Structure 1
Amino acid sequence: MQYKNDGFYSSMDLDDDGRLKNVLWADARSRAAYEYFGDVVTFDTTYLTNRYGMPFAPFVGVNHHGQSILLGASLISSENTETFVWLFDTWLKCMDGRAPKAIITDQDRAMKNAIVIVFPNTRDRYCLWHIMRKLQEKLGSYAEFKSGLKSGLQRCVYDSQTSEEFETSWEVFTDTYNLKENAWLQSLYNERMYWVPVYLKNTFWAEMSTTQRSESMNAFFDGYVHSGTTLKEFVDQFDNALRKKVENEMAANFHSFNATVPCISHLPLEKKFQAVYTNSKFKEV
């Protein structure tokens, strides 16, 4: 690939016997996209483990059309701090030493440690969806779960406008349902800076609060790769999937340059947005 593609970057991490442990790669397009869209990155290893037991771990961002874009990809052999340090460090080299301003991960302890080591100035956020999805499993056994407990916790998390408001409503919530001793909730409270929206609102997140970007990228690879895919097939199919992704982006670019979404008001401000935004972003506005 390096021979065919000038800006292609790859790095392999071998064990003492010369066997492949971890590999990271990014093509010229991903590296160029990072220049523009590298502020916020999501990183997730939960999608696919191939027949060698190596999780696929993509770095994913979002472009000016709101589409998920690939900013690097890796296959890793274990999910410990040492592996993530190697991976983040290598990815940083690939991106000319420019760390993302913010990163969204899935609450993995080893990942968190590695971020502190390699990206000390990057704001780390846990995927909110992963946390809220565990409510049933962790608190479902309480009698009041469906009659107020679940909605009380959701209100506390989503509706608090200031950190003081969150602290107060958390206090009231844990008192009301006698949850002061619940170890899971206690650990979440201790790490509230990493996942409660009110503590994260001063950072730019490109409209992402979850690793769903990684998941939508994962869904994109469905049909191309699966758990029985060999490494050789993986690389070929990965390439095919990426080509399709590029076509989608080019189609959106073409549409933005050649079609105009009409304004719905006579405000000069709206006209300004119409001129500077892509069609998909203008529709949102």
Structure 2
Amino acid sequence: MGGLAPMNIITDQDFSMRAGIEEVFPLAVHRHCRWHIIKKAEETLGPFFADRPDLHKAFELCVDHSLTVEEFERSWMAMIETYQVQDNETLASLWEKRMYWVPSYFMQCFFPFLQTTQRSEGFNAALKRYVSPGNSLLQFGKQYTSLQQKILGSKLQQEAKTALKQPKLLTCLPMERQMSKTYTNKIFNK
């Protein structure tokens, strides 16, 4: 890393990793991968949310749309109170670890939409839809090629849309203008 320490680090919930990072990179902002935390929580919250779709929507709004720590904490408390879920252990555990995974706690840091292995795990999930373990090597090759073409087509389509239509800028800041030229419209508008 050229003698430079990372400023921001994303890992899974490995607490020995957290201790090592704190020791080796004391100035780095270390957060846990939101994708892994939500995926793990969904194992228990999935059926719970299925019976309470309004709670699930409130949870997503609270986590994904709170812009400040205060806003997140206020909407989390309102959600817990409104839906009377004070005794839910998974939600209580998520609350205890909130400063490690909730986006509003990291608004001052640059984490460009990536969450540890999100990209590779997302591809693995897509690959599993296309490829069966019982396939021959030839079938695997054909299906893998088909998946690559679909992904490439989607990326080319996004790039074409970006070239044809410039996103609406919300500020006059040079950084926003630069980012609108660097990212596709889909990523920029995220």
Among 95, 101, 106, which residue is 2:7 paired with? 101
Cα-Cα RMSD: 3.3
SS at match of 1:134: helix
Q: Is the 8 A contact 1:149 1:177 kept in 2?
A: yes
The answer to whether the 8 Å contact 1:135/1:150 transfers is: no
Give the SS at the match of 1:142.
Answer: helix
* 2:64 is equivalent to residue 158 of structure 1: yes
Cα distance in 2, alignment partners of residues 213 and 97 from structure 1: 27
Unpaired runs of 5+ in structure 1?
1-94, 220-260, 266-271
**Closer/same/farther in 2, CA of residues 133 and 202 from structure 1, 3 Å limit:** same
Is 1:169 the equivalent of 2:75? yes
Counterpart in the other structure of 1:149: 55
Q: Which has the higher strand share?
A: 1
**How many residues of Structure 1 are paired with residues of Structure 2 in the alignment?**
141
Asked if 1:202 is matched to 2:81, the reply is no
- TM superposition outliers: structure 1 runs of 4+ over 3 Å: 140-146, 213-219, 261-265, 282-285
Distance in 1 (alpha carbons) for counterparts of 2:31 and 2:62: 18
* Percent identity over paired residues: 41
Greater Rg over alpha carbons, structure: 1
2:157 paired residue number: none
Asked whether 1:126 is paired with 2:53, we answer no
Counterpart of 2:54 in structure 1: which amino acid? G
| C-alpha contact (below 8 Å) 1:161/1:198 kept by paired residues | yes
Q: Give the secondary-structure state (helix, strand or coil) at the position aligned to 2:9.
A: strand
TM-score by length of 2: 0.60
Q: Identify which of 88, 96, 117 aligns with 1:182.
A: 88
Q: Using a 3 Å threshold, how does the CA distance of structure 1 residues 210 and 177 change in structure 2: closer, same or farther?
A: farther
For the 8 Å contact 2:7–2:27, the answer to whether it is kept is yes
Normalised TM-score (structure 1): 0.42
Distance 1:145 1:199, change over 3 A: farther
Shift in CA distance, 97/137, structure 1 to aligned 2, threshold 3 Å: same
Answer whether contact 1:99 1:122 (CA < 8 A) is retained: yes
Compared with structure 1, are the counterparts of its residues 137 and 206 closer, same or farther at alpha carbon in structure 2 (3 Å cutoff)?
Answer: closer
Residue 185 of structure 1 aligns to which amino acid in structure 2? L
Unaligned regions of 5+ residues in structure 2, if any? 126-161, 167-173
Map residues 1-285 of structure 1 onto 2, 5 A cutoff. Answer: 95-142=1-48, 145-213=51-119, 215=121, 264=165, 281=182, 283-284=184-185
Q: Which amino acid aligns with 1:104?
A: I
For 1:55-93, what per-residue CA distance to the aligned partner results, in whole angstroms no more than 9, with x for missing partners?
xxxxxxxxxxxxxxxxxxxxxxxxxxxxxxxxxxxxxxx
